[in-house]
Amino acid sequence: MENHAKYKNFGNALRCPLCEESLQVVQSKSLICPNRHTFDISHHGYVNMLSHSPKSRYNKALFEARKNIIMESDLFKLLHEKISAVFDTYSADSDTPAFILDAGCGEGSHLEKILGNSRNRTLTGIGLDLSKAGIAQAAKRYKQSIWLVGDLAKSPLADHSMNMILNIFSPSNYKEFKRILAPDGLIIKVVPRAAHLKELRNAISKEKSLYKNDETISLFKKHFTLTDIITVSDTRVLDKSERTHLVQMSPLAWDSNETALGAFTTRSCQITIDADILIGLNQKETRL
C-alpha cells in the first residue's frame, strides 16, 4: 500500500492523457478523471497510462543490462555527479518540495543515481517511458520515485507541474516540455559528443562517421534559455561481464555482426563517455 500512497501527494501533477482532465486517486488503487477514464496503480506501484502497447526492441533483457551498467559500474559516475550538482545549485535556496521528471527514463537507474547523489531531500523523481518493461523494473527496484508508462508526445502530466526535466540520451518533445515545466523551471538535456562510446561504435562499424550535436544544441536554444553547457569526458575500464552488458543495452549493437560484438566483449579496453549537458530555463521571451 505504501507504493500507492505516494500518489496522494502527486495527484495534482497528473492529467488524463485521453481527455486532458485532472486525475484523482480513488481508494488508493486507481487514478480516475471526471470522464471516468481509469488507470490502475499496479501492485509494484507504477501506472500504465497508455491505451495501447507499442512494439519495441527495448525489452526486459536490455533494461536489465542497462541497470547493471548504470548501477554497478562507474561508467556514468562523473555524468551523474555533474547533473546532481546542477540540481543542488538550482534548488539551493529553496526547501519547497520539487518534482523532477526523467523523460525517457528507461528502467530508472539514471534518475535513481542522480537523486541519490543530490544533497536535496525535497526532490521527488517522476520517471516516464513508453516501455512497460522498463517502468515495471524501475517500480520494483526504486520505491521512492513515481513511475509512469506514458507517451511523451501526449504526456499524463499537468501544465507547469514539473520544476525540473531531465532528458538523458533520449528523444525530446519540446512542445510538451514547455507545457509541463514550471515558469523558470530547469531543463537538463544530455546529448552525446563525437567520442561517446567510440570503442563500441568502432568495433561494430567500418564507417567512422563523426557525430555532431550542433543541430541538437541549436534546436534546444530555440525553445529554452541556454544558461550553460557542461562537457563530460571520462573513460572507464569495464571487465568482460560489463562489456557484455554494454553490448546488450545498446541500440548501437542491434543487427550488428556477432563476430565483431564477440571480439569487443573479449578484448580489454577503456570505454569513453563523451557528452554535453545542456542546461536551460523555461523563460518567456520578452519583447522590447
Domain that holds residue 128: 2-281
Average predicted confidence (pLDDT) for the chain: 91
Order of all β-strands in the sheet with 162-168: 47-48, 146-149, 123-129, 98-103, 162-168, 181-192, 270-281, 225-237
Pairing status of strand 225-237 against strand 146-149:
unpaired
Amino acid identity at 288: L
Tens-digit pLDDT profile for residues 225-264: 999 999 999 999 999 999 999 999 998 888 777 888 888 9
The more confident residue out of 268 and 274 is: 274
For residue 127, tell me if it sits in a domain: yes
- Report the alpha-carbon distance of residue 127 to residue 105 in Å, rounded: 5
> CA 44, CA 3: separation in Å to the nearest integer?
7
Contact 85, 115 (CB under 8 A): no
In a domain, 286, yes or no: no
Instruction: Report yes or no: 86 and 279 within 8 Å, Cβ to Cβ.
Output: yes
Name the amino acid, one letter, at 65. A
pLDDT at 54 over 60: yes
Q: Does the residue 89 lie in any domain?
A: yes
Say if 254 falls within a structural domain.
yes
How do residues 257-271 score in pLDDT, each as one tens digit? Answer: 788 888 899 988 899
**How far does Cα 59 stand from its chain's mean position?**
16
How do beta strands 123-129 and 181-192 pair?
unpaired
Cell of 111: 534518475
Asked whether residue 287 carries a pLDDT value surpassing 50, the answer given is: no
Reference 5, options 143, 141, 116, 106; nearest CA is 143
| CA dist 244 → 89, 236, 253 (Å) | 36, 15, 11
Q: Is 277 inside a domain boundary?
A: yes
The SS3 call for residue 157 is: strand
Measured in residues, the chain has a length of: 288
Helix (H) or strand (E) holding 82: helix 77-90
Q: Give the containing element (helix H, strand E) for 201.
A: helix 198-204
pLDDT tens digits, 27-50:
889 999 999 999 999 999 999 999
Q: How many domains does the chain have?
A: 1
More confident call, 183 vs 253? 183
Distance CA(120)–CA(193), nearest Å, equals 29
What the block records as the C-alpha cell of 36 is: 471516468
Does position 205 have pLDDT exceeding 80, yes or no? no
Measured over the CA atoms of residue 19, residue 20, residue 24 and residue 30, the dihedral's sign is positive
> Domain of 271: which CATH number?
3.40.50.150
Tell which residue, 156, 140, 160, has the closest CA to residue 148: 156
**Within-domain flag for 117:** yes
**Do 129 and 136 touch, CB atoms closer than 8 A?**
no
What was the pLDDT predicted at 182?
A: 96
288 within a domain of the structure (yes/no): no
Check residue 206 and give its pLDDT: 61
